[in-house]
Amino acid sequence: MNPVNNPYAPGAGTPPPELAGRDELREAVRIATERIRIGRPAKSLLMVGLRGVGKTVLLDRMRDDAEANGLHTLRIEAPEGRSLPAILAPQLRQALLRLSTVEQASALGKRALRALAGFAKGLKLKYQDIEVGFDFEPEPGLADNGDLEHDLQALLEAAGEAARSAGTALVLFIDELQYVEEEQLAALITALHRVAQRQLPVIMVGAGLPQLPGRMGRAKSYAERLFDFPQIGPLNNAEAGKAITVPAREQQVEFEPAALERIVRETQGYPYFLQEWGKHAWDVASQSPITERDVERAAGNAVAALDESFFRVRFDRLTPSEKMYLRAMAELGAGPHRSGDIANVLKRKVTSLGPTRNQLIAKGMIWSPNHGDTAFTVPMFDQFMQRIMPGDEWRTVG
Q: Residues 270, 168: one domain?
A: no
Q: What is the mean pLDDT of the chain?
A: 93
pLDDT at site 28: 96
What CATH number is associated with residue 131?
Answer: 3.40.50.300
Q: Give the H/E segment covering residue 376.
A: strand 373-376
pLDDT digits 0-9 by tens, 74-94? 999 998 889 999 999 999 999
pLDDT at site 281: 96
pLDDT at site 13: 66
Give the residue from 208, 228, 248 where a domain finishes.
Answer: 228
The residue type at 369: P
- Mean pLDDT score, 204-215: 95
Q: Give the H/E segment covering residue 46.
A: strand 44-48
pLDDT at site 381: 96
pLDDT at site 355: 95
Indicate whether 306 belongs to any domain. yes
Q: Residues 35, 158: one domain?
A: yes
pLDDT at site 277: 96
pLDDT at site 335: 87
Q: Residues 215, 246: one domain?
A: no
Q: Residues 168, 201: one domain?
A: yes
pLDDT digits 0-9 by tens, 244-287? 999 999 999 999 999 999 999 999 999 999 999 999 999 999 99
Give the residue from 293, 314, 335 where a domain finishes.
Answer: 314
Q: Residues 164, 208: one domain?
A: yes
What CATH number is associated with residue 344?
Answer: 1.10.10.10
Indicate whether 14 belongs to any domain. no
- Mean pLDDT score, 355-368: 94
pLDDT at site 224: 86
Regarding predicted confidence, which is higher, 394 or 242?
242
In 77-111, which positions are buried (b, 16+ CB within 10 angstroms) versus exposed (e)? bbeeebbbbbbbbbbbbebbbbbbebeebeebbbb
Residue 397 has pLDDT above 60, yes or no: no
Indicate whether 286 belongs to any domain. yes
What CATH number is associated with residue 275?
Answer: 1.10.8.60
pLDDT at site 379: 95
Residues in the chain: 398
pLDDT digits 0-9 by tens, 118-164? 999 999 989 999 988 888 899 999 999 999 999 999 999 999 999 99
Indicate whether 296 belongs to any domain. yes
- Pairwise CA distance, residues 169 & 161, whole Å: 10
pLDDT at site 135: 86
Measured in whole angstroms, the distance separating CA 337 from the mean position of its chain's CA atoms is 24
| Domain extent for 350 | 319-396
Indicate whether 6 belongs to any domain. no
Q: Residues 143, 183: one domain?
A: yes
Give the residue from 211, 228, 245 where a domain finishes.
Answer: 228
Indicate whether 12 belongs to any domain. no
Q: Residues 219, 337: one domain?
A: no
Q: Residues 304, 328: one domain?
A: no
Q: Give the H/E segment covering residue 191.
A: helix 182-197
- Cβ-contact 76, 175 below 8 angstroms: yes
Domain count, the chain: 3
Residue 308 has pLDDT above 70, yes or no: yes
- Mean pLDDT score, 293-315: 94
Classify residue 14 by its DSSP letter: P
Q: Residues 203, 339: one domain?
A: no
Q: Residues 88, 116: one domain?
A: yes
Indicate whether 163 belongs to any domain. yes
- Cβ-contact 186, 10 below 8 angstroms: no
pLDDT at site 20: 85
pLDDT at site 378: 95
* CA 328 vs CA 110, 252, 288: distances in Å: 56, 46, 43
- Mean pLDDT score, 359-388: 94
- Cβ-contact 139, 118 below 8 angstroms: yes
Contacts of 362 (CB under 8 A, 6+ apart): 80
Q: pTM of the predicted model, to two decimals?
A: 0.92
pLDDT digits 0-9 by tens, 5-61? 899 988 776 778 888 889 999 999 999 999 999 999 999 999 999 999 999 999 999
Q: Is 9 exposed, middle or buried (0-12, 13-18, 19+ CB in 10 A)?
A: middle
Q: Residues 116, 217: one domain?
A: yes
- Pairwise CA distance, residues 127 & 104, whole Å: 34
Residue 345 has pLDDT above 60, yes or no: yes
Indicate whether 7 belongs to any domain. no
- Pairwise CA distance, residues 139 & 110, whole Å: 10
- Pairwise CA distance, residues 303 & 292, whole Å: 16
Q: Residues 88, 157: one domain?
A: yes
pLDDT at site 37: 95
